A and B are shown apart, each in its own frame.
Chain A
């Protein structure tokens, strides 16, 4: 659909732009910049998506909302696998992640994949922070286009 393509291309160019404009010694800050962008976007998105929803019963419910509704609204599909150790660590697995599907199936381009996952990680973190859950989100890719997002809840 036309609207999906706009966001995909914008995201592609955003990643390329940030990496191009970064000076030599700031290369490692690119990922954090992208993540911060995603954080802000996630915060606003979650306000919009939960307009009609009631409060969540517990953390697990929040996670399920993230996997089903949020993912469905943003990437037009649901998370394929959610695992937890009930101690505050959740692993979300998406077997055909939107931004990786057109890149490759298998091993090609794997080194560049993390760049394109920074923004989605930030989005998850922003969405959860506005739902009252502070966490750290990381992503890993073992075989394209599947990827895993690991969410670690911070309790203090």
Chain B
């Protein structure tokens, strides 16, 4: 389409408003569930011209308790309460993980990694101990698996596991953890608040 080609031509010259406005909804052939295939259609655009955003973050333990939730740029509020939202999120992730492994046409290496819709992308990372890190970002972000892994090893382990006053199966109350996580996420290249919010 005309707008698509224009965008591609403009990308190399100067950051254009068209590139910033597009949230990826005009790219054809977008799969809804990119769980098994690793192709990322959005990587055609260079990172310097597209603003990427992180919307929010959930942390669940092995039993489904939501240990931590924070959002930075949430555009639409849920119609349900927080507890219901957490239960829904956990249940959905649990089910998708099991579908992905049972319906896989090939041998599975990592299992469920992320899913994309036309407006946002949900990234998932699970540790061997059953801790689930879930992050919603916009579509122009690539793989966040390493970021989530680093969040686990350098923030969760340091400030929650090593804190004797944080019990591991309760929601996290440590201010230090909250501040360090916030600092870490804000410093990521993928976190850039869209102009106008």
Closest-CB distance, A72 to chain B (whole angstroms): 21
In the bound complex, CA of A103 to CA of B174 (Å): 7
Which chain B residue shows the least CB distance to A13? B164
A contact residues around B174 at 8 Å (CB): 103-104, 108-109
Interface size class of A (residues with CB under 8 A): 10 to 19
Residue A61 at the chain B interface, CB threshold 8 Å: no
**Contact assessment for B164 and A15 in the assembled complex, using a CB-CB cutoff below 8 Å:** yes
Contact with B along A99-137 (1 / 0, CB 8 A): 000111110110010001000000000000000000000
Which chain A residue shows the least CB distance to B159? A102
Residue B175 at the chain A interface, CB threshold 8 Å: yes
**Contact assessment for A112 and B165 in the assembled complex, using a CB-CB cutoff below 8 Å:** yes
| Residues of chain B from 70 to 129 with CB closer than 8 A to chain A in the complex | none
| Residues of chain A from 1 to 27 with CB closer than 8 A to chain B in the complex | 5, 8-9, 12, 15-16
**Contact assessment for A105 and B176 in the assembled complex, using a CB-CB cutoff below 8 Å:** yes
Closest-CB distance, B175 to chain A (whole angstroms): 5
Closest-CB distance, A98 to chain B (whole angstroms): 10
**Contact assessment for B176 and A8 in the assembled complex, using a CB-CB cutoff below 8 Å:** no
Which chain A residue shows the least CB distance to B176? A104
**Contact assessment for B162 and A109 in the assembled complex, using a CB-CB cutoff below 8 Å:** no
Closest-CB distance, A47 to chain B (whole angstroms): 29
**Contact assessment for A108 and B175 in the assembled complex, using a CB-CB cutoff below 8 Å:** yes
Task: For A102, give its contact among B158, B175, B179 (CB under 8 Å).
Answer: B158
Task: For A8, give its contact among B159, B162, B165, B179 (CB under 8 Å).
Answer: B162
Closest-CB distance, A13 to chain B (whole angstroms): 8
**Contact assessment for B176 and A108 in the assembled complex, using a CB-CB cutoff below 8 Å:** yes
B contact residues around A16 at 8 Å (CB): 164
B contact residues around A116 at 8 Å (CB): 164
| Most chain B CB within a 10 A radius of its CB, from A12, A16, A105, A109 | A109
Which chain B residue shows the least CB distance to A102? B162
A contact residues around B176 at 8 Å (CB): 102-105, 108
Residue B163 at the chain A interface, CB threshold 8 Å: yes
| Most chain B CB within a 10 A radius of its CB, from A8, A9, A103, A116 | A103
12 contacts across the A-B interface (CB closer than 8 A): A5-B162, A8-B162, A102-B159, A102-B162, A102-B163, A103-B164, A103-B165, A104-B175, A105-B176, A108-B174, A109-B165, A112-B165
Give the interface of A toward B (CB within 8 A): 5, 8-9, 12, 15-16, 102-106, 108-109, 112, 116
10 more contacts with CB within 8 A, not counting A103-B174, A108-B174, A116-B164, are A9-B162, A12-B162, A12-B164, A16-B164, A102-B163, A102-B176, A103-B165, A103-B176, A106-B175, A109-B174
